[in-house]
Amino acid sequence: MSSFHDRATKHAEDVVSGKIISGRLHFLACQRHLNDLQRQNTPEFPYIWDSEKSERILNFAEKLTIAEGTEPKPVKLFDNQCFDLGLPFGWLKAVNGKRRFRRSYECQARQNGKTLKNGVKGVYVAFASGYRYGKLFTAATQKKQAKLAWDEMAKFIRSDKDLDELFKIQEYISTITCYSTLCTIEALSKEGGLLDGSRSIYSSLDEIHQMKDNKVYKAIYNGTKALPETLVSMITTRGFDLNSFCYQMDSYCQKILYGTVSAEDFFVDIYTLDEDDSPFDESVWHKANPVLLHPDNPNFRQNLETFRSDARTAQDMGGYDLADFMVKSLNLWYRKKSNEFVEPEKFSQCGIDKTLADFSGYTVNIGIDLSSGGDLTSWAIEIPLEENAFFIDSHSYMPRGRFEEHIKTDLAPYDVWEQMGLLTVTGGKSSYKNDYSFIIKELRECVAKYHFKINAIGIDPHNADGILSELETFGAPVVIVNQSARNLNDATTDIQALVKSKRYFYNKKNELLAYSFMNAETVSNSFDEIKIDKPADMKNRRIDPCDAVIDAHYCHIKDKKEEQTDVNAELEFYLKMIHGSDL
């Protein structure tokens, strides 16, 4: 148990200890907080937990009034709401006391108080954060959606005599002004005034599953980078469209919870069922409905009966009723993809602190994946260890022109990865093609630096003609790796088995490599042989480092097959010599 006595931390402890049963993703959010408490204020993690700051917003929230209904009633936070409100305001940067989290993604079933929480945050930031002349937005594709959180804030203000005197509400222009700080809260939409570069100290993005693309998010977030602290707060229930910004954001946030990507400025919490849960088992419904089905909810019995009725209808009717129940009531992606290459949690457990320097002098296999459109080019090094275990590492390259484009459009933090030394950005802003000679030169320097002995170099033949002669100068066999499922099946399935058995190690700081593994999906041919591919509906999710790793492992598998063939041939020759040639 920690020495902290705030409500947010207590909830995290109750979940991790098993006192409160939750879904796996919410469990990981709680575990992340407890892990951060143990490593706070260190060179590797320069953030501190201020329990008073966390409690301050919770106390503020519980002084507000809910006006909707037959009679006004004070806000009473549930334990999970204390966690989701307290963490974004309790974690601070050690160097200057500014808030750590600049983005948040909270996902749960409908009618569980998502908009209420964003309304609390907006009023609190405008009035009590200490910032003057700040701009706050509630933003969405359409004005009607953008008004949801704005209306919640307006209701809080109108329901409190003191707040009503401190704020001016101008309904006709969807603007709220705080007299004491001169901060403004404005409802904006893409169709009516939302512009790139909008500098907001707080923004609420409601139901992002309804957004067709990431333009609203990028317009808001790109405008906050120069501010000392901000919060772009995304709230949503999952949806039906896997080809969507929300699905991509949800997938990225799961990577944060699983630890395969570290985004220290990003608070994530997802309430949903686990993979093995039945949608018709009422004992698991609370995982996606932490407020509606909380035992302390005065309407708990009524809500549970409603869920039972909806579940029976969904089971009997199927079709749209079933889809609606799974998505809106249980916060599941309808027809969720199940062809992931490796399990995120299993791969995360393969991350270790070792680097290539720890394996100096080893024999290695190298894999190279060349980009076709000037995007990501990667090489990977696979090092066989004892007892059928491996260590892998990779490095990637991107021309500056493409880099500038992807920073604006993709969710992946390429700028952070460049600073971490995982990605080399080449050329100037007008460069849109990778310099393969430079990449091979850096690979050669890496091999020399660590005194590696190269067993083989595997390369996808696509775009490889121009560098084959350079690769031959490494003095090792160059293996052309045909990218068919039949050819790659053995290497692909062997890596899957190695990850499951936790024998496929990688440097846990190589987030770009982990990101590519998480993006990879398997596709199969008519013989059920598999290879990896990027999601067909999300071409900006890169898998190039993972491709390079598989090319390297292909070389290892090829050697094993040749050794087995040689053994069999020797055995056959021996038996013929002993027993006669007619065997």
Evaluate whether residue 108 is within a structural domain.
yes
Evaluate whether residue 91 is within a structural domain.
no
The CA-based angle 205-222-58, given to 5 degrees, is 45
Evaluate whether residue 554 is within a structural domain.
yes
Can you tell me the distance from the alpha carbon of 123 to that of 133, in angstroms, rounded to the nearest whole number?
14
In the structure encoding, which two tokens stand for residue 247, read together?
Answer: 């699905």
Q: Name residue 351's beta-bridge partners.
A: 506
**pLDDT given for residue 574 in this prediction:** 47
Evaluate whether residue 103 is within a structural domain.
yes
Same domain, 267 and 370: no
Domain housing 541 = 344-566
**pLDDT given for residue 1 in this prediction:** 43
Q: What is the CATH number of the domain that holds 215?
A: 3.40.50.300
**pLDDT given for residue 29 in this prediction:** 98
Evaluate whether residue 445 is within a structural domain.
yes
Same domain, 433 and 519: yes
Same domain, 242 and 371: no
Residue 85 belongs to what H/E stretch? helix 79-90
Can you tell me the distance from the alpha carbon of 409 to that of 475, in angstroms, rounded to the nearest whole number?
41
Same domain, 230 and 367: no
DSSP state of 43: T
Evaluate whether residue 328 is within a structural domain.
no
**pLDDT given for residue 347 in this prediction:** 93
Evaluate whether residue 171 is within a structural domain.
yes
Same domain, 255 and 357: no
Same domain, 243 and 147: yes
**pLDDT given for residue 451 in this prediction:** 97
Do residues 413 and 446 lie in contact, with contact meaning Cβ atoms separated by under 8 Å? no
Domain final residue, candidates 271, 289, 310: 271
Can you tell me the distance from the alpha carbon of 112 to that of 366, in angstroms, rounded to the nearest whole number?
50
**CA dihedral for 398, 400, 403, 407, sign (positive or negative):** positive
In the structure encoding, which two tokens stand for residue 492, read together?
Answer: 């692909």
Same domain, 362 and 259: no
Q: Name residue 399's beta-bridge partners.
A: 426
Do residues 136 and 186 lie in contact, with contact meaning Cβ atoms separated by under 8 Å? yes
Same domain, 265 and 166: yes
In tens digits, the chain (583 residues) has pLDDT values of 455 679 999 999 999 999 999 999 999 999 999 999 999 999 999 999 999 999 999 999 999 999 887 788 999 999 999 999 999 999 999 999 999 999 999 999 999 999 999 999 999 999 998 899 999 999 887 888 889 999 999 999 999 999 999 999 999 999 999 999 999 999 987 665 565 557 899 999 988 988 878 888 888 888 888 899 999 999 999 988 877 889 989 999 999 999 998 899 999 999 999 989 999 999 999 999 999 999 999 999 999 999 999 999 998 888 889 999 999 999 999 866 568 899 888 999 999 999 999 999 999 999 999 876 668 899 999 999 988 899 999 999 999 998 988 887 777 889 889 999 999 998 888 888 888 889 999 999 999 999 999 999 999 888 787 788 899 999 999 999 999 999 999 999 999 999 999 999 999 999 999 999 988 999 999 889 999 998 765 666 789 999 999 999 999 999 887 766 554 554 465 455 555 544 3
Phi first, then psi: give them for residue 573, nearest 5 degrees.
-65, -40
What total number of domains does the chain contain?
2
Can you tell me the distance from the alpha carbon of 233 to that of 224, in angstroms, rounded to the nearest whole number?
13
Same domain, 243 and 349: no
CA atoms within 13 A on the CB side of 220: 29
DSSP state of 296: T
**pLDDT given for residue 581 in this prediction:** 46
Q: What is the CATH number of the domain that holds 523?
A: 3.30.420.240
Same domain, 369 and 510: yes
Same domain, 372 and 234: no
Residue located via tokens 């204390």 = 82
Same domain, 512 and 379: yes
Evaluate whether residue 232 is within a structural domain.
yes
Domain final residue, candidates 271, 297, 318: 271
Domain final residue, candidates 232, 253, 271: 271
**pLDDT given for residue 191 in this prediction:** 62
